[in-house]
Amino acid sequence: MMDATRRFLSEHEFLSRRFFLSLGAAGAVLAQIPGTATAFEPRNAVLESAVTKLESFLTAPDKFRDVSRGTPLPHKLSDEKKSEVGLTRETWRLEVVSDAEHPAKLGQQFQKSDGTALDFAGLMKLAETHSVKFPKVMTCLNIGCPLGMGIWEGVPLREIFWRTGARENVRRVYYEGFHNDDPKQLFRSSLPIGRVLEDPYDLPPVILCYKVNGEWLSSERGGPVRIVVPEAYGFKSIKWLSKITLTNLAHSNDTYADGNNDIDSPLKSFAATLSVPNIVTPGEPIPVTGYAQVGISGVSKVQIWLAPASTEKSKDDPYFQQAPWSDAEVLPPPSNWGGNLPDGQIPPGTLGFDPVSGKPRSWPMRLAKVHWAALIPGVPAGDYKLRCRTIDEKGAGQPLPRPFRKSGHAAIEEVSITVK
């Protein structure tokens, strides 16, 4: 078995023990993992050394994949320059203004010119009574593979909104980040005011985020302050937040609308592999692992299907809905959350976790990542394709119900396996 598989499984202690015990049993797909644990067998040396290189549920803030734009990249500016342009906690200022051409009726604007812009101390004052934290996977609509998993902490955007004394004619919130004062580099996004004021379907609020995984938000992650929209793809979570414009326009102005993106698309569920042996001995069971992104409609199952490489896609079944899929094991919550959390603990008060036990309230957790594993029965020599998919909580098999690429990645992954 590959090192990566060992590494990956070893963080999920209950599962890994059962997984390795079951390796001998050809044809076994992993059984449901009970919540109770018995004594662990000592790990062998290879496994033990692999433990130090685990992939974790949460991503350390500096291990996120960075796709942000800018020349120069705002987080690469010198400390001196950052301080000058408001990219430090000491010098950050947020403007909140009414759209001059399509004005919202406000009691007050917050502006740099008259010294009323919100500063970091002001944000921290609001944080004392209003801060929230929630887990969320950051995924770029255009890339598909998640950039990282964090517990994002911030003040709900509506707390700032209400301090403008807004009364009417506000239909949308436009917001933008620092962009080297160059209009061509502007990166902006927007939300309907309703999403800012209310959290539908038990979603966490849209926040002005200043911490991730218990640490101050780094410059690379968009610090000192970024927007985080829980259910959205990354482009809605504007980094280096500098200005909010309240408008009576009804339509979006998102940078991501250019480039044919579907900017109203919430996160989709999909599965992908992490470790697959590319060459396998005939008749030998094949251990595979992967992750699933848990989109807005949740994940009820992860399924896999190993088919001869020659298997053709039928015209009436372009998404292999009729294929003989079998269930993989969705791994339980890990014992080690990773992500450089202070004391390795989920920060107290994190939404989605029980305050007393510290355990997740539901699993797989919506808008997060979950891991899975399966042992595929041995097969005769030949070329194969392994596919995996999620089934959401409404029973829709990936990439349904929203199969189009420009609303976010959900295509069924195919991995080649040669058995010889």
Ligand X SMILES: Nc1nc2c(c(=O)[nH]1)N[C@H]1C(S)=C(S)[C@@H](COP(=O)(O)O)O[C@H]1N2
Q: How far is the CB of 238 from ligand X (least distance, A)?
A: 4
Q: Which of 5, 12, 11, 17 is nearest to 41 (CA)?
A: 17
- Please give the structure tokens belonging to residue 66: 């960075």
Any idea what the Cα angle at residue 151 is, between residues 370 and 349, rounded to 5°? 110
Residue selected from 20, 57, 240, 384 as contacting ligand X according to rule CB under 6 A: 240
Q: Which residues lie near Mo ion (CB under 5 A)?
A: 140, 234-235
Q: Which of residues 66-85 bind ligand X (CB under 6 A)?
A: 66-69
Residue placing its CB nearer to ligand X in the complex, 235 or 305: 235
Q: What is the CA radius of gyration of the chain?
A: 23
Residue selected from 104, 147, 373, 386 as contacting ligand X according to rule CB under 6 A: 147
Residue selected from 50, 123, 238, 419 as contacting ligand X according to rule CB under 6 A: 238
Diameter over CA atoms, the chain: 76
Q: How far is the CB of 139 from ligand X (least distance, A)?
A: 7
- Go through 394-415 and write b for each residue having 16 or more CB atoms within 10 A of its CB, e for each that does not: eebbbbbebeeeebbbbebbeb
Residue placing its CB nearer to Mo ion in the complex, 95 or 254: 254
Residue placing its CB nearer to ligand X in the complex, 136 or 389: 136
Residue 175 binding ligand X, by CB under 6 A: no
Beta bridge partners of 209: 154, 226
Residue selected from 140, 249, 307, 396 as contacting ligand X according to rule CB under 6 A: 140
Residue 370's Cβ-side half-sphere holds a number of Cα atoms within 13 Å equal to 27
Residue 8 binding ligand X, by CB under 6 A: no
- Please give the structure tokens belonging to residue 321: 């809905």
3-state secondary structure of 103: strand
Q: What are phi and psi of 327, to 5 degrees?
A: -75, 135
Residue placing its CB nearer to ligand X in the complex, 153 or 329: 153
Residue selected from 210, 235, 353, 384 as contacting ligand X according to rule CB under 6 A: 235
- Interface ranges with ligand X (CB under 6 A): 64, 66-69, 138, 140, 147-148, 177, 187, 221-222, 234-235, 237-240
